[in-house]
């Protein structure tokens, strides 16, 4: 993280040089834009949210945020601003289908009865994380997951194609799912009370 974005913690942005102010805003924009855009899927709305979020951070910046926690804090503030925006503009929001999420029943928030916007946004973020976790798996694990979920092959078809036994396919599929689930539990604290 650049030192200029750390100047957000000072709470005195107005006294800085205009070039430095612009640099801080541009860094903030580059940091936050992908997350906001992923949620709203509308460039103009994302820019409005980012602008409003930046102004609110300048006005209400807590000076006790640690330097190491600044980026997660900024992401949280932007996510909350995005949720508020979506609440105000319910007509424009995209609905998330739970069928889009690869691991069914991983957490209750991915159920079809997800009624709140927060749950939908969390489910979208979780889906993105699961896809990321799958890409980090061993090639054979990725391959069997793809064959099972995308190509929808049976265990026998998968075994024939790979030249292994059906039991080996079951075992590999189990291990690949377990690896994704373990990563999901670690990063998302899924099983914590």
Question: How does pLDDT run across 17-51, given as a tens digit for each residue?
Answer: 788 888 888 888 888 888 888 888 778 888 999 89
> Over the stretch 103-122, which tens digit does the pLDDT of each residue have?
444 444 444 444 567 777 77
From CA 7, how far away is CA 9, in angstroms rounded? 5
Report angle CA 124, 182, 190 to the nearest 5 degrees.
Answer: 55
Q: What is the structure's pLDDT at 46?
A: 87
Intervals of the chain under pLDDT 70:
1-13, 61-63, 65, 90-116, 188-193
Q: What is the structure's pLDDT at 112?
A: 42
Q: What is the structure's pLDDT at 168?
A: 92
Q: What is the structure's pLDDT at 24?
A: 82
Question: Is the full-model pTM beyond 0.75?
Answer: no
For 27, other C-beta atoms within 10 Å of its C-beta total 18
Which residue's entry shows tokens 């064959």? 147
Q: What is the structure's pLDDT at 165?
A: 92
Q: Where are the alpha helices (DSSP H) in 137-165?
A: 139-145, 155-162
Q: What is the structure's pLDDT at 97?
A: 34
Which residue's entry shows tokens 């107005």? 14
Q: What is the structure's pLDDT at 190?
A: 55
Q: What is the structure's pLDDT at 151?
A: 81
């Amino acid at each position: 993280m650049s030192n200029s974005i750390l100047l957000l913690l000072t709470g005195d942005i107005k006294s800085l040089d205009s070039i430095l102010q612009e640099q801080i805003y541009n860094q903030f924009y580059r940091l936050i834009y992908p997350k906001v855009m992923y949620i709203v899927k509308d460039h103009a709305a994302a820019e409005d949210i980012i602008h409003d979020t930046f102004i609110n951070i300048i006005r209400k910046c807590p000076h006790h945020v640690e330097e190491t926690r600044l980026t997660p804090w900024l992401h949280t503030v932007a996510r909350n601003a995005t949720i508020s925006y979506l609440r105000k503009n319910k007509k424009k929001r995209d609905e998330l289908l739970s069928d889009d999420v690869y691991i069914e029943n991983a957490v209750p928030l991915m159920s079809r009865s997800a009624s709140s916007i927060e749950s939908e946004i969390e489910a979208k973020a979780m889906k993105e994380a699961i896809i990321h976790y799958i890409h980090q798996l061993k090639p054979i694990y990725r391959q069997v997951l793809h064959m099972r979920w995308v190509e929808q092959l049976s265990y026998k078809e998968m075994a024939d194609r790979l030249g292994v036994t059906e039991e080996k396919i079951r075992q590999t599929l189990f291990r690949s799912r377990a690896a994704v689930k373990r990563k999901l539990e670690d990063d998302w604290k899924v099983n914590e009370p």
